[in-house]
Chain A
Amino acid sequence: MPGHFWINAVLATALMSAPGCVAALAQEVEDGDAVATPAVESDALFALKRMGEYLRSLDSFEVAADTTRDDVADTGETVEFASHMEIRARLPDRMRLDVTSDRNQRQYFYDGKTVVIYAPAVGAYARFDGGPTIRETLEIAAADYALELPLADLFTWGSPDDESDLITNAFSVGTARIGGENCEHFVFRQEGIDWQLWLREGDAPLPCRLVITTTDEPSLPRYAATLDWNLEVELSEDVFTFTPTDGSYEIAIETTPGEDAE
């Protein structure tokens, strides 16, 4: 990162002193094999950090999201699937997630100890042990049960697992209007993904929208989520507790292969 600042400083100096040199420099960037100089704008990183701190300061929240996710067929086409999801969370250790996709419905319950995944239309549910917090539980779900839940980032930003230090390029694109809110639009690059984040302006910098483009795949599949927040929410214990119904039955959930297996 100091290197980026140095390059920026050189450019800035050149800008002020010799316009001709700027043109030459720009030409070099255009013609050379090097990609345009990456730069991490400190404003963008600061906004990301501020959002993480704000998310971690919340006691409970409800957020609804309309999402689309691309799959890539083995013949290369992207195939889009849409979902509506609702997260209800009481930090640090209660979470409920309802996902209704264009094909199925799933509910996830985390009561501080156990995770239950349930398919209401089918009746099948499975249980596994969670961790002591939502964040750790989401990590267990992903690592041990191949269950990577969308928007898990909401519980990671601002935590020790935040990977903002892997960002290689970041900039602001200005303000957009999303869901009746003014949201500042940022672009970030990391290895394998380009992502965009829109953050609500003002004292509550909540994510308005998130788009992740997978860049190490030729057809550039995307995940997109537009979020609708409600912070004025009282969540009782039964929201997070799964109660079997007459038609429900328990099944197993596959664990991912062990780490020691070769």
Chain B
Amino acid sequence: MMTPRSFRGRGIVASIGLAAVLAVVSASHVEARKVHRSAHVNVNRHVNVKHTNKKNVNVNVKRNVNVHRDVHTDWDRYHYHPVERGVAVGTAAAVTAAAIGAVVYSLPSGCGYRMVHGVRYYECGGTWYEQRYAGSQLTYVVVPAP
């Protein structure tokens, strides 16, 4: 039943147009390494096939859920409330004049939060954030003062 097989390698040229995709823009001040791409986690990728002809850029974002986040930032602060402690990697610590719509993965220290119309907003040194899920990842989006 088994036949000898050649496992010769094949030169693979990756042509991934991810660099231009900035669906989630991390605060650029941090030196943290960025995730370029994640391994596929499913074999049946009809989601991708269905959208391929419509918009290639989005396809890559959808298929590679974790693209353009910092390595190591998808981290629940188990022992600290997020507003009480900043974390080492990928924090917004150096954000001085964060642009509205910028996304960070954790907050600097010294933030408080306020409920406005049922939504929890975090305020850190005059910059306001709304916490959101981006895929399975918790992020903080800079918003106008509520």
Contacts of A190 in B (CB 8 A): 43
Contacts of B45 in A (CB 8 A): 163
Contacts of B85 in A (CB 8 A): none
With both chains docked as a complex, state the minimum distance between the C-beta of B27 and any C-beta of chain A, in angstroms: 16
Find out whether the CB atom of A216 lies under 8 angstroms from the CB atom of B12: yes
- Closest B residue to A251 by beta carbon equals B131
Given the contacts A143-B51, A152-B42, A256 and B61 also touching, CB distance less than 8 Å: yes
A117 interfacial by beta-carbon distance below 8 Å: yes
Find out whether the CB atom of B36 lies under 8 angstroms from the CB atom of A104: no
Interface size class of B (residues with CB under 8 A): 35 or more
Which residue of A71, A192, A253 contacts B38 across the interface (Cβ within 8 Å)?
A71
Bound-state Cα–Cα, A36 to B9, Å: 10
Given the contacts A71-B66, A148-B41, A163 and B33 also touching, CB distance less than 8 Å: no
A214 interfacial by beta-carbon distance below 8 Å: yes
Find out whether the CB atom of B132 lies under 8 angstroms from the CB atom of A252: yes
A193 interfacial by beta-carbon distance below 8 Å: yes
B116 interfacial by beta-carbon distance below 8 Å: no
Find out whether the CB atom of B40 lies under 8 angstroms from the CB atom of A193: yes
Contacts of A76 in B (CB 8 A): 36
Contacts of A142 in B (CB 8 A): 47, 62
Given the contacts A71-B71, A251-B130, A257 and B58 also touching, CB distance less than 8 Å: yes
Find out whether the CB atom of A146 lies under 8 angstroms from the CB atom of B61: yes
Find out whether the CB atom of B65 lies under 8 angstroms from the CB atom of A146: yes
| Main SS at interface, chain A | mixed
Provide the B17-48 mask, 1 if CB < 8 A to any CB of A, else 0: 00000010000000001111111111111110
Find out whether the CB atom of A121 lies under 8 angstroms from the CB atom of B76: yes
Find out whether the CB atom of B133 lies under 8 angstroms from the CB atom of A259: no
- Closest A residue to B134 by beta carbon equals A254
Contacts of B139 in A (CB 8 A): 254
Bound-state Cα–Cα, A227 to B93, Å: 41
Bound-state Cα–Cα, A54 to B133, Å: 35
A5 interfacial by beta-carbon distance below 8 Å: no
Find out whether the CB atom of B78 lies under 8 angstroms from the CB atom of A214: no
Bound-state Cα–Cα, A73 to B47, Å: 24
Bound-state Cα–Cα, A231 to B77, Å: 35
B98 interfacial by beta-carbon distance below 8 Å: no
Find out whether the CB atom of A253 lies under 8 angstroms from the CB atom of B66: no
B117 interfacial by beta-carbon distance below 8 Å: no
Find out whether the CB atom of A106 lies under 8 angstroms from the CB atom of B39: no
Provide the B66-91 mask, 1 if CB < 8 A to any CB of A, else 0: 10000110111110001000000000
Find out whether the CB atom of B33 lies under 8 angstroms from the CB atom of A153: no
A110 interfacial by beta-carbon distance below 8 Å: no
A62 interfacial by beta-carbon distance below 8 Å: no
With both chains docked as a complex, state the minimum distance between the C-beta of A29 and any C-beta of chain B, in angstroms: 7
Given the contacts A163-B44, A215-B12, A216-B14, A221 and B37 also touching, CB distance less than 8 Å: yes
Bound-state Cα–Cα, A7 to B65, Å: 40
Contacts of A212 in B (CB 8 A): 39-43
Given the contacts A104-B75, A261-B55, A146 and B134 also touching, CB distance less than 8 Å: yes
A-B contact pairs, 16 of them (CB 8 A): A103-B75, A103-B76, A119-B138, A145-B135, A157-B44, A163-B46, A172-B2, A173-B2, A190-B43, A217-B16, A249-B120, A251-B119, A251-B133, A257-B23, A257-B61, A259-B54
* With A105-B76, A254-B134 already in contact, 6 other A-B pairs whose C-beta atoms are closer than 8 Å: A74-B34, A79-B35, A119-B138, A148-B62, A195-B43, A259-B51
| A residues in contact (CB < 8 Å) with B | 29-30, 35-36, 43, 69-76, 79, 99, 101, 103-106, 117, 119, 121-122, 124, 126, 139, 142-143, 145-148, 150-153, 156-157, 161-163, 171-174, 188, 190, 192-193, 195, 210, 212-218, 221-223, 249, 251-254, 256-257, 259, 261-262
